């Protein structure tokens, strides 16, 4: 994977969050194992995971808006028609389930 192919939501995470994700995957998603590994309670690990999920969701939405804005700019620059842009955006929203 080339650097420019790395999703923005991953690039927006700090090292600690990326390391948490790595350990989470290596522990098969077990919050119990994670609580033992970090020597904290299960609810503490759950809270950390919830914060990480919110962070990822936020940056994923930013990517969605960025894509839609790019399509709109193509219309403004007359690179594609408004009708084509509408079809692309609706298809994208349908696949991403964006509201």
Which structural domain, as residue segments, surrounds residue 49? 12-96
Residue 82 belongs to some domain of the structure: yes
In whole angstroms, give the CA distance from residue 16 to residue 67.
Answer: 28
Q: Answer yes or no: are the C-beta atoms of 17 and 55 closer than 8 Å.
A: yes
pLDDT at position 41 is 97
Q: How many domains does the chain have?
A: 1
Q: Answer yes or no: are the C-beta atoms of 45 and 51 closer than 8 Å.
A: no
Residue 4 belongs to some domain of the structure: no
Residue 6 belongs to some domain of the structure: no
pLDDT at position 97 is 64
Residue 60 belongs to some domain of the structure: yes
Residue 1 belongs to some domain of the structure: no
Residue 7 belongs to some domain of the structure: no
Residue 29 belongs to some domain of the structure: yes
Burial-class residue 57 by CB neighbours within 10 Å (0-12, 13-18, 19+).
exposed
pLDDT digit string, tens, across residues 9-59:
888 889 999 999 999 999 999 999 999 999 999 999 999 999 999 988 887
Residue 71 belongs to some domain of the structure: yes
């Amino acid at each position: 994977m080339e650097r420019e192919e790395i999703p923005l939501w991953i690039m927006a995470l700090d090292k600690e969050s990326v390391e948490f994700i790595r350990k989470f995957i290596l522990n098969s998603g077990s919050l119990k194992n994670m609580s033992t590994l970090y020597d904290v309670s299960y609810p503490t690990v759950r809270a950390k995971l919830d914060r990480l999920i919110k962070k990822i969701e936020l940056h994923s939405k930013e990517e969605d808006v960025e894509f839609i804005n790019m399509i709109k700019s193509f219309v403004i620059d007359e690179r594609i028609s408004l009708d084509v842009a509408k079809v692309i955006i609706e298809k994208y929203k349908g696949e991403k389930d964006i509201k």
